Structure 1
Amino acid sequence: MKRRWLQGLLALGVAWASSSMAAPADEHITVAAAADLHQAMDEVVAAYRHDHPASKVDVVYGSSGNLLTQIEQGAPFEIFFSADSNYPQQLVEHGKAGGTPVPYALGHLVMWSASIDMRGVQVADLAQPRFGRIAIANPQHAPYGKRAEQALRAAGVWDKVQSRLVFGDNIGQTAQFAQSGNAQVGLVAESLVINSPVKGSSAPVPSSLYEPLKQSFVITRRGAANALAKDFASYVQGGQGKAILSRYGFNLPVENAP
């Protein structure tokens, strides 16, 4: 009888040990990422998964303002990668963050067209009717849209082009408007067109015309105790993550520069 009891206890111990060595519950995270990151982040996640095959990282893309609202309303995101630094800071101020915002990239705005040769075009030139409909992201909740408005105002053409503006819900949809021809020109994130399979022409929007697109991420309160969230965030900031972001036109923010 005693022997059976010992055998049962041993079996229970083995079962407990096996369960304790199984993949932890935090081997899956969901990331909220600004739409300008779509192509770059997909590549970062693929590279991370290659190095960590047991880990699952899902990404939901959208405008930074809308993603902020979703997180504040309880959406299950462990990390928030914004297209600016303001929205992550708001998450901190509203008590929904598990850390402080960390700058990870500096984004760039370009004018892009699938049908017009944009070489040499200046922002002020967009007042000319030949440029047709102009797509920008909604300035109310998309950082790239806000910067597009700033650039158009600084160039003195905001009032002249308003009747021809087409607003995308986020910068990804804005790029789609331009790529599909629903708009003749798009003021879009360089990261979405630099490696695009859709042929087109672009011209930079001078950075002097808009506030810097210093992009930051923050681990949410939900992700604060999640080891995978912390490891993935570190990966994005590491050598391979930076190399991928660089290929999509992002620069390191000043704080992270060597």
Structure 2
Amino acid sequence: MKKLIGTIVLSLSLSTASFADKINVFAASSTKLAMQEIIENFKSKNPNDEIIASYSATGKAYAQFTNGFQYDIFMAADTTYPNKIVSDKNAIAEPVVYAMGVVALYSNDKELIKKGIEALKDDKIKHISIANPKLAPYGVAATEILENYDLLDIVKNKIVLGDNIAQSVQFVDSGAAEIGLVAFSLIKTIKKEEEYVLVDPSKYKPMEQSFVLTKYAKEKPLATKFASFITSEESKKIFEKYGFGIK
């Protein structure tokens, strides 16, 4: 009898495993809070499937991908890198915009935030945190904002660069920088309203955050399934909840 039960359990385990699937997803740091909730919701409906998510700067992940790291879905903070993957013939579909990035001015000093972008001229500010524009689209946006407000030359010696936008938030949290230009999606749900102000979106190019199914997703139905979930109404509400714009 014990042998029979063991055989049945093994058979059921193998049967369950045969329906399980696993994919690797790169997601830009700005999406981390939203994506954690989206993945949790997806897994509640698909408990046998595994989504392995990695979060970092888009440029850094693109370099990893071109050096052979097998991301099945590449979720960037812009359209530039997904388009590169397509032009390199390393994608099986065109990029899809999943959310619009929003930039906020963030500080633990509420008096600075009351001044808005003009606060960056304040003498009490010694360090301004932004993401590295060579690696992160939010760093590019921050640079555009400073240029469009004619502030870049004034504050350039105060700028500290995060490897990704999450680190830029951490610099402000830790006091390493008094203020920062960061992703609204990383602070909306966990910071007080008086600690941030949204930057005029006309001061930076629209941040169409896009994903692409890479060549590694070709024979992985789970990749297509999860990609559809990312663009579902359920997921759009989650992105919006965390401060992203929705097209």
Fold match by TM threshold 0.5: yes
**Is 1:153 paired with 2:147?**
yes
Q: What's the RMSD between the two structures over aligned residues?
A: 2.0
Superposed displacement of residue 45, structure 1: 0.5
Paired residue secondary structure (2:216): coil
Paired residue secondary structure (2:196): strand
| Cα distance in 1 for residues equivalent to 2:117 and 2:129 | 13
Superposed displacement of residue 97, structure 1: 1.3
> How do 1:46-195 residues align onto structure 2 when only pairs under 5 Å count?
46-195=40-189
| Cα distance in 2 for residues equivalent to 1:198 and 1:179 | 13
Identical residues among aligned pairs (%): 33
| Cα distance in 2 for residues equivalent to 1:188 and 1:93 | 29
Give the unaligned 5+ runs of structure 1: 1-16, 254-258
| Cα distance in 1 for residues equivalent to 2:119 and 2:111 | 13
| Cα distance in 1 for residues equivalent to 2:214 and 2:42 | 20
**Is 1:205 paired with 2:199?**
yes
TM-score (norm 1): 0.86
Superposed displacement of residue 231, structure 1: 0.6
Paired residue secondary structure (1:131): coil
Deviations 1:88-140 (A, max 9, x none): 00011112112110011001000001134344433244122223310000011
| Cα distance in 1 for residues equivalent to 2:127 and 2:81 | 29
Query: Number of residue pairs matched?
Result: 237
Matching residue's letter, 2:180 = G
Superposed displacement of residue 69, structure 1: 1.1
> How do 1:210-225 residues align onto structure 2 when only pairs under 5 Å count?
210-225=204-219
Conservation of the 8 A alpha-carbon contact between 2:106 and 2:113: no
Please tell me whether Structure 1 or Structure 2 has the larger radius of gyration of its CA atoms.
1
Superposed displacement of residue 234, structure 1: 0.5
Q: Which of residues 207, 211, 232 in structure 2 aligns to 1:238?
A: 232
| Cα distance in 1 for residues equivalent to 2:68 and 2:192 | 37
